[in-house]
Amino acid sequence: MTELALDIRGISKSYGEFNAVRSLSLAVPKGAVYGLLGPNGAGKTTTIRMILNIIAPDDGTIMVLGRPNTDSAILDRIGYLPEERGLYKKMQVRRVLRFLAQLKGLGAKEADRRIEDWMERLSLKTPEKDWGLSKIDELSRGMQQKVQFIGTLLHDPDLVILDEPFSGLDPINAQALKDTVVDLKKRGKSVIFSTHLMDNAERLCDSVCIIAHGDKVLDGTVAGVKAEHGGNNVALAVAGDGAELVKRVLSDHQMVERVDDSNRFFEISLQKDADPQQLLRRLIEAGASITRFELVQPSLHQIFLEKVGATGVEVGMTGHG
Amino acid sequence: MDKLWVVIKREYLERVRSKWFIFTTIFGPVFFALITILPGYMTVKTMKNQQVSAILILDATTTGLGHKVADRLAKNADSAAVRALSGRSGSQSATGMSAAIPSEVQDVNPPQLARAESLATKAVMEKVSEGYLVLDSATIAKHTARYSGRNASAVGQVELIQEAIRQSLVGMRLEAAGMNAARIDSLVRVRVSLSSDRLDERGRGDSGLVSLIFGFIIAFMLYMMIMLYGQNVMRGVLEEKMTRVAEVVMASVKPDILLAGKILGVGAVGLTQQIVWFGSAAAFITYGAVMAKAMGAPEMKNFAFPTVSPLLFLSLMLFFVLGYILYSSMFAAVGAMVGSQEEVQQAAQPVVLLLVASIIFVQPILLNPSGTLAVAMSVIPFTAPVIMPLRMTAVQVPPLELAGSMVGLAITCWVTIWAAARIYRVGLLMTGKRPNLKELARWIRHA
């Protein structure tokens, strides 16, 4: 058995009548990039808060890096970026970062050294301007996100937990975040992040877990999950006004089980016994100009929609994430 | 423990570095002096105004008493004005002071008195004169007189008139007994000033008045500090909740440590400020007189700084610390409950009212520091932090009462912190509606 960065067994949490998380079990191997996927209100944030011992589960156990998470020393080895970000607005950037580092048990001197390092790396300190001397609320949103990000990683944690890390990031910071996740993995760190953006998850994660309504829907390696759900899938792209022409063909439920219509791009799940070649013939007969027709594995997005369904996306409780 | 220290350090340093702290530390005493000295100054000023206001005297005694009273009023008013301004008793001459306008005397036949009175009333109503005094046969026989005027409720004015009538009546009797006028004047103008001393088990204490003022200042200071710094804690909690820093911090330390650190850190700021204030006050009193003398100012003999025994000092500190912890933990719970700046003032009102209750009763308690009200309020934990120190500066509080008050306060503190910490823990992560009492009770139970 490989060593686990995170081992959750049967945790539940309810607020009054509302079950935020129901009997959830997860295992994240060390060194993995793990995606916690689910619609808003699925229980992702509640799960993450339980991992961090911010709230206690009603039931079940959580082991982090081989130790129970109630052991306060283990918290020092976790880095956490919450979904809703914020820092002390009136405080100087360097002082905020030093404070966050010291809370994780880092000495002031070591913290200062690393702060300088990081600020140069993320260009918060340039020969022209040292933003470290500014107050947080003098920084742009993008820069504040950088500072928060530094605060998460300053103590070089072994397990990094990112709650919806891509929400609100501009493309440049999003790229920097992806690079950092890849870098963390190379250095043998474990990364868990929650998201409802399947594209990011598909590209970054080794393994995923999809939860909805507080229940685990499925989990496993990305490759495994895809293979398991690998049915009769076709990726179709059309040019010109082909979109209108193909829609009638795709609405034939004898052949097509489900279509994800992105206007010019279609991800199609065929019925089990349907023949893709026949679909292609009918599309050409309809007069559409086809630029792509490919037999593919389903995307995580597709699997997610199939498993969670449209209803799961709509029903969301705020406040308990 | 290390992390608690990190939190305390942040709370302390961020506040001490702020402009707000520097401003209040420097200008706090100025503001404080203004609100304590200004009312006194205004009283003196208005009293002086009243001296010079003339009144109409309706004399129906047919003995000429009215003119005597008018003379007295004029003489006394001058010296009273001087006295009021210099703060000293005595009868220096009023050279250089604005002389009083002599009061008008109207001799009235007793049967016409009612008519004269209604005319005088009309004059006062039309603001032609300030007020009128009626002297009649009853004044001679029963020593009663009537005064009606716009300023009839002003204690100083009424007292002056009363004194003038008394002196005039005594003068008349002495005259009737054959005393000469010059002797009478010097005899009746005796003024008594009563100074009261406080006695305690060590013997003679400070003058009663000084310790009264001292007690009031202490009580007011305690109240202000608890209010200011308690609300400071509340705003700090709200800021952490609203900016979402709380979640980052709680991923590193337990909420209890965050709460404790905040309360201790802010409390240390309050203590720092007090040390600066009292330190500079002590330095001013010790060296200020020397400096003033060197610069040629007259010596201030009347001023004596009250002596504070180590026991009193220790109790003061203890009551401040306990009172501050009690209220700041309640304020912290309020800060964690609400979701916006607008809401917080309203939600804090019950806590503020608890605290205001103590300052409302400061005056009656000062007047009777051993009464039932005083004893009750110095034992009730929510008013004890302000009222007990106030009583201690005024009277010797029985040790049993003192101990009971402290133990009760400490126990209440403990229970409050326990409940507040639970509300804090749940509230910090909550968004949306403010909880009602029932939900609050559930938070406390299930946190």
pLDDT at B265 over 50: yes
- The lowest-confidence range among B83-92, B141-150, B233-242, B264-273 is B83-92
Interface membership of A78 toward B (CB under 8 Å):
yes
- DSSP 8-state symbol, A255: T
Cβ distance of A100 and B432 shorter than 8 Å: no
In sequence order, which ranges of B144-207 are alpha helices (DSSP H)? 155-176, 181-188
Q: How confident is the model at residue B93 (pLDDT cuts 50, 70, 90)?
A: very low
Whole-number Å distance between alpha carbons of A55 and B425: 9
Residue A318 has pLDDT above 50, yes or no: no
Q: Which residue has the higher pLDDT, B243 or B41?
A: B243
- Give the pLDDT confidence score for residue B227 in this predicted structure: 92
Alpha-carbon gap: B413 to the closest alpha carbon of chain A (Å): 25
Q: Would you call A20 an interface residue with chain B, using a CB distance cutoff of 8 Å?
A: no
pLDDT of residue B74: 77
* Spatial distance between the Cα atoms of A20 and A155, rounded to a whole number of angstroms: 31
The tokens describing B116, both together, are 């004269």
Question: For residues B327 and B355, is the Cβ–Cβ distance under 8 A?
Answer: yes
Tens-place pLDDT, residues A116-130: 999 998 888 888 889
Tell me the Cα Rg of chain A. Answer: 23
Percent of chain B with pLDDT over 90: 20
Q: How far apart are CA A48 and CA A69, in angstroms?
A: 12
pLDDT digits (tens, 9 = 90+) for B162-190: 888 888 888 888 888 887 777 777 777 76
C-alpha distances in Å from residue B406, one per residue of A26, B52, B355, B358, B380: 52, 52, 17, 16, 10
Length of chain A: 321
Say whether pLDDT at A16 is over 70. yes
Nearest to B1 by CA among B254, B309, B284, B201: B254
Q: What's the pLDDT tens digit per position in A259-297?
A: 888 888 888 888 878 888 888 888 888 888 888 888 888
Compute the distance between CA of residue B70 and CA of residue B72 in angstroms, rounded to an integer: 5
| pLDDT greater than 60 at residue A153 | yes
Question: Are B287 and B297 in contact, with CB atoms under 8 Å apart?
Answer: no
Q: What is the pLDDT of residue B279?
A: 80
pLDDT interval class at A174 (50, 70, 90): confident
Q: What's the pTM value of the predicted model, to 2 decimals?
A: 0.72
Residues of chain B contacting residue A88, judged by C-beta atoms under 8 Å apart? 14, 239-240, 243, 245
B297-353 per-position pLDDT tens digit: 555 444 555 566 777 788 888 898 999 999 999 999 999 988 888 888 888 999 999
Give A142-205 as a DSSP string: HHHHHHHHHHHHTT--SEEEEESTTTT--HHHHHHHHHHHHHHHHTT-EEEEEES-HHHHHHH-
- Name residue A266's beta-bridge partners: A236, A261
Judged by a CB distance cut-off of 8 A, whether residue B254 touches chain A is yes
Mean pLDDT of A165-194: 89
Residue B254 to residue A72, Cβ atoms within 8 A: yes
Determine the pLDDT at residue B163. 82
* Separation of alpha carbons B359 and B386, rounded Å: 7
- Residue A89 with chain B: CB contacts under 8 Å: 239, 243
Most confident of B63-67, B233-237, B298-302: B233-237
Asked if A90 and B14 come within 8 Å (Cβ–Cβ), the reply is yes
Amino acid at B11: E
- What are the tokens at B364? 């009656």
Q: Is A80 within 8 Å of chain B by CB?
A: yes
Neighbouring C-alpha atoms within 13 Å toward the C-beta of B96 = 3
pLDDT band at B200 (very low <50, low <70, confident <90, very high): low
Residue in B6, B245, B431 closest to A319 by CB: B431
Range with the lowest mean pLDDT among A62-71, B39-48, B353-362, B431-440? B39-48
Burial code (b: 16+ CB inside 10 Å, e: under 16) for A291-301 equals eebeeebbbbb
Which residues of A are less than 8 Å from B432 in CB distance?
318-319
For residue A78, is pLDDT > 90?
yes
**Nearest alpha-carbon partner for B148 in B118, B105, B170, B115:** B118
Q: Do B3 and A55 touch (CB under 8 A)?
A: no
- ipTM, interface predicted TM-score of the complex: 0.79
Average pLDDT over residues B60-83: 73
